[in-house]
Each structure stands twice: as structure tokens, then as C-alpha cells.
Amino acid sequence: MAKPKIRCGVAGVGSLGQHHARIYATLPGAELAGIYETSDARAAEMCAQHGCRRFATIDELGAACDAVSIVVPTDRHAEVALPLLAKGCHLLIEKPLCASVEEAERVLAAAQAHR
């Protein structure tokens, strides 16, 4: 029986996030479930390129994914990470983790609480 693929998503598909999407789309054990992107033009380009879906909200992305790369501006890392952790997603957060120590502590506490 084939092992199920890990459903992956990317929040933010700019100059760095596009590489996360490309890799998930080609990784044998992964499936690019979709992206969250605020730019309509960029979202359309990435979805066409990788045959994936654009999610309208972070919550929708989290509900469809096992793991998500967070590749939005650093000052939005906590805002994006916290609802995804609450949905039980595993996260890869581009560095730096957060814009402040306080935000990083909140993300760490949420990650520990949601295992």
C-alpha cells in the first residue's frame, strides 16, 4: 500500500516562497495542496505554474494541509503561524522566527501546546 503524501502549503509565494512551492510540487512524498498569497497576480501565476489551489484565508490553508511553510514578511510570522498551529499543522518558518522575542515565545508556546 502506498504511503500517503504529506499535504503541504505555502503562505507567501514571493521571491523565496516560490521555491518552497516548487519543491513541494516536485517532492515525491509531498503534495502541494495550495498557497495563501495576498497578491492576486502572483497567486494566479504560482497556481498556474504548479497546478495548485489558492486559499482565501490562512484557516482554509491550514485545514487542507499537514505542513505549511511560512514565507511572509517577518512582522507577520506570528499572525500567520498561530492559527496554523491551532489547526495542528507542522510549520517551517523562515528565519528570523518572529519580529520580537515576545512573538517568538507565543509561537513556541503554541507549538508546544499543539504538539
Whole-structure pTM value: 0.95
pLDDT, averaged in runs of 10, over the chain (115 residues): 91 97 96 97 97 97 98 98 97 96 97 93
The DSSP letter of residue 5 is P
What stretches of the chain show up as alpha helix (H) in DSSP?
17-26, 40-50, 58-64, 77-86, 101-113
pLDDT per residue as tens digits for the range 6-24 = 999 999 999 999 999 999 9
- Taken in order 41, 27, 111, 95, the sign of the CA dihedral is negative
- Residue entry with cell 519543491: 23
**CA–CA gap between residue 68 and residue 55 (Å, rounded):** 12
Q: What is the pLDDT of residue 30?
A: 97
Q: What is the pLDDT of residue 2?
A: 76
Q: What is the pLDDT of residue 77?
A: 98
